[in-house]
A = this chain, B = another copy of it.
Amino acid sequence: MDSTLFVSIFAPLIGCLALAVVAALYLWLRKQDAGTEQMQEIAHFIQIGANAFLRREFLTIAPFVVILALLLLVAMPEGKWQIALGFIVGAAFSMLAIFIGMNAAVRANVRTTAAARSSAARALMVAFRGGGTMGLSITGLTLVGIAGLAALFGVTRGYPESVHLLVGFGFGASFSALFAQLGGGIFTKGADIAADLVGKVEQGIPEDDPRNAAVIADQVGDNVGDVAGRGADLFESGVDNIIGTMIVGSAFIPTYGWMAVLFPWISEAIGAIGAILGVLVVRGTEKRNPIVSMNLGFLTTALFAVASYYFLGVYVMHDTRIFYCLTLGLITAVLVSLLVQFYTGITQRPVKQIARGGMSGVAINLIYGFAWGMESAVIMIILVAVVNVIAFYIMGGGLAGILGITAATLGISVMKGIIMAADAFGPIADNASGIAEMAGLGSQVRRAGDVLDAAGNITKAITKGYSMSTALMTSVVILFAYLLSAAQLAGAGSGSLTGLVAFGGASLEEATLRIVRHLSLAHPLNIGALMIGATVPFLFSSQAMKAVGRTAFRMVDEVRRQFREIPGLLAGRAIPEYGACVDLGTRHALREMVVPTLVGVVFPITVGFLMGPWALAFYLIGVKVFGATLAIFMFNAGGAWDNAKKYVEEGHFGGKGSEPHKAGVIGDTFGDPLKDTAGPSLHILIKLQNILAITLLPLFYAYGLTWY
């Protein structure tokens, strides 16, 4: 059996293995103790709400998916059915991953609470394995989906052109992810803000108090926003990443053979095995900080990946430089997580300074949070820029350098599964604390929950920074995939593609030359497209934030209404109508996600047709670079505000109830839609536009206006 065939079979098998582990983890979870009847009732409310949201979300997406698939079937000049089918499968797999991961999470939450009654270590394990189902689902489904479609389309039978047919799968995954993250993000933050504003600020009752009508909606939001949204996001990242690297890889078949196209699969399979090992290794102890246990999981995955990469680079690709580039990407993932920990960590200078700023008034707290958030974006984007350039020159520049960037991108994204597990751990632990509070469990249980919750805040912040860096790296690869595809359409043979990136050489073919000239910065059309691209993240974020504002505004009214109209509610003698808030949030969130989604889709299509495929490349880089910078600012500012509030609550600067604490609460609430709605949706916007551009490129090329 030759090595190509081996990889074609091996990769989807590893995917199936990951899914089998998911099933085993799920069964294990079901067997855990689910606590008292009251706890189970609360958990049941959350499950019903979360599933109602998902059902409505899927029903909202379905017609869009069908219509777009039909449009693709009609409009695409080539590969009609493959792209349309891939689109449907991509959207379906994304929804499946969300469904599996979220259903595990809404069962793990109450079992974490139950475990916390006897053992904090056990609680950590339950929560982490709950998150692990999501992490392993996305890597498993990625491998199975891509390998399956590739076999169906004949990619693995050696036709390089057929690699392009996979873009539909990425487009479908992106499309579903945008809805999931936006809808979930609007829901979760609308509910969270409303619960805080009416509960904590107006009525002075604690967080997660059962008298607050928005409290179940808030818990549901953690699942549909943080678990489902982030899961869809990372599923999409992985898919886009692999497809982009395969397209770029197809330019390297002359050097590395067909393995140039398939080595991304091996990297993904390494990530899947590493994640399985990592998830199984995480076991709490009664004394150790949970973040230490999770770091052991990360370390396990990372060490396995480095060892496997050595094998991949040296013995499969026969090029040690590829091993260096893969490892460079892996190191970047570590650096990113350290940077995020500095800018949002509760013991670090930025958070302390923001908290102290509150002593002079809310505005100073806000100003410091804003400023530190902006600064954090600088160093992370520069890191990505530098890693790109280094990977490029490790391979000696030129076309080979692009393969280096590709490898580094695979290296950063190999940690995806384990990081997703740790991320989904966050909302599970958050839910677990909430259930403990609502069920009136003792302070010891709540304390155990709070420790897990604090660890979850860190892992959530790390994931966001990590996934944005991954997205930016991926988007550079996809830019090159786009340019290579465009060059092929423009008639440049794959041999002459070297000219696209090899400066200073003397023998450029005419077709390549034309492309290079089209991509010049020295053309106002290109500059104009860059400007337009740069503004799209602003437009998108502004719409998302207004949507959160409107949803919260309505939900505040509803919670106030219930306190006013339900007799005895504040005194604890009546139960609020939780369902009314969940329902209101669901309707609003799903309606509100339409406009931002249209922004995401209409802009690149318009630019592609009106300004042409070359200017579209400048548009895309504008969206990517500015979107990434803005998103990182949003994550870190939001995370830092959140932790500044927690820092004051720990007793500094006057503690709970003091002026700095009020300032902290306002900063945290303002930061919420930044870090949990607009920011994470920006990722997906970036990747959606990338993959959309590649998918529709033949149309832009055939029917777009020609300016030069």
Q: Which residues of A come within 8 Å of B, CB atoms? A: 193, 197, 201, 357, 360-364, 366-368, 370-375, 377-378, 381-382, 384-386, 388-389, 392, 397, 401-402, 405, 472, 476, 479-480, 483, 500-501, 503-504, 508, 513-532, 534-536, 538-539, 541-543, 545-546, 548-549, 552-553, 556, 617-618, 621-622, 625-626, 629, 633, 666, 669-670, 672-674, 707-708
Contacts and interface: CB of A to CB of B under 8 A. Distances in A.
A552 B363 CA distance: 10
Given A384-B531, A538-B378, A666-B666, A545 B367 contact: yes
A495 B258 CA distance: 48
Given A361-B556, A503-B518, A503-B707, 13 more contacts: A361-B669, A364-B553, A374-B538, A374-B545, A378-B538, A378-B539, A388-B531, A500-B522, A503-B523, A521-B521, A521-B618, A521-B621, A538-B633
A364 B530 contact: no
A632 to B, nearest CB: 9
Nearest to A546: B371
Contacts of A364: 193, 197, 549, 552-553
How many copies make up the complex? 2
A476 B534 CA distance: 15
Contacts of A538: 374-375, 377-378, 629, 633
A487 to B, nearest CB: 9
A522 to B, nearest CB: 5
Contacts of A531: 381-382, 384-385, 388, 472, 625
Contacts of A532: 381-382, 385
A301 B483 CA distance: 48
15 contacts: A357-B549, A362-B666, A363-B670, A366-B666, A368-B546, A371-B543, A371-B549, A374-B539, A381-B535, A382-B532, A483-B522, A501-B522, A519-B522, A521-B621, A535-B629
Contacts of A529: 385
B527 A516 contact: no
B545 A708 contact: no
Nearest to A524: B392
A549 B625 CA distance: 28
Given A197-B361, A378-B542, A673 B367 contact: yes
Contact of A542 (B361, B371, B472): B371
A513 B371 CA distance: 43
A370 B629 contact: no
A670 B541 contact: no
B389 A524 contact: yes
A666 B363 contact: yes
A570 to B, nearest CB: 19
9 A-B pairs with the lowest CB-CB distances in the bound complex, closest first:
A503-B708, A363-B669, A374-B542, A385-B531, A371-B545, A385-B528, A375-B542, A371-B542, A378-B535
A554 B538 CA distance: 34
Nearest to A193: B363
A513 B499 CA distance: 13
Contacts of A633: 538
A269 B384 CA distance: 47
Given A197-B363, A381-B531, A384-B531, A375 B539 contact: yes
Nearest to A662: B362
A240 B371 CA distance: 29
Contact of A523 (B366, B501, B525): B501
Most chain B Cβ neighbours within 10 Å, of A201, A373, A524, A532: A524
B528 A386 contact: yes
A534 B629 contact: yes
A671 to B, nearest CB: 9
Contacts of A501: 520, 522-524
Nearest to A364: B549
Most chain B Cβ neighbours within 10 Å, of A362, A500, A504, A543: A362
A236 B370 CA distance: 29
A57 B465 CA distance: 40
A528 B625 CA distance: 10
A625 B622 CA distance: 9
Given A377-B535, A542-B378, A621 B530 contact: yes
A681 to B, nearest CB: 13
A548 B674 CA distance: 23
A417 to B, nearest CB: 27
Contact of A360 (B508, B541, B552): B552
Contact of A521 (B392, B397, B504, B617): B617
A531 B371 CA distance: 19
B522 A382 contact: no
A670 B626 CA distance: 23
Nearest to A534: B625
Contacts of A542: 370-375, 378
Given A521-B617, A539-B374, A625 B530 contact: yes
Contacts of A666: 361-363, 366, 666
Contact of A389 (B386, B480, B519, B525): B525
Contact of A524 (B476, B541, B556): B476
Contacts of A375: 538-539, 542-543
A510 to B, nearest CB: 10
Nearest to A405: B524
Most chain B Cβ neighbours within 10 Å, of A389, A472, A522: A522
A390 to B, nearest CB: 10
A439 to B, nearest CB: 28
A197 B405 contact: no
Given A523-B501, A626-B534, A357 B553 contact: yes
A392 B528 CA distance: 11
A412 B82 CA distance: 51
A381 B534 contact: yes
Contacts of A389: 524-525, 528
A524 B388 contact: yes
A505 to B, nearest CB: 9
A385 B626 CA distance: 16
A519 B522 CA distance: 7
Contacts of A673: 367
Contact of A401 (B508, B513, B524, B625): B524
B670 A367 contact: yes
A373 to B, nearest CB: 8
Nearest to A377: B538
Contacts of A617: 521
Contacts of A626: 534, 625-626, 629
A549 B368 CA distance: 7
A405 B527 CA distance: 12
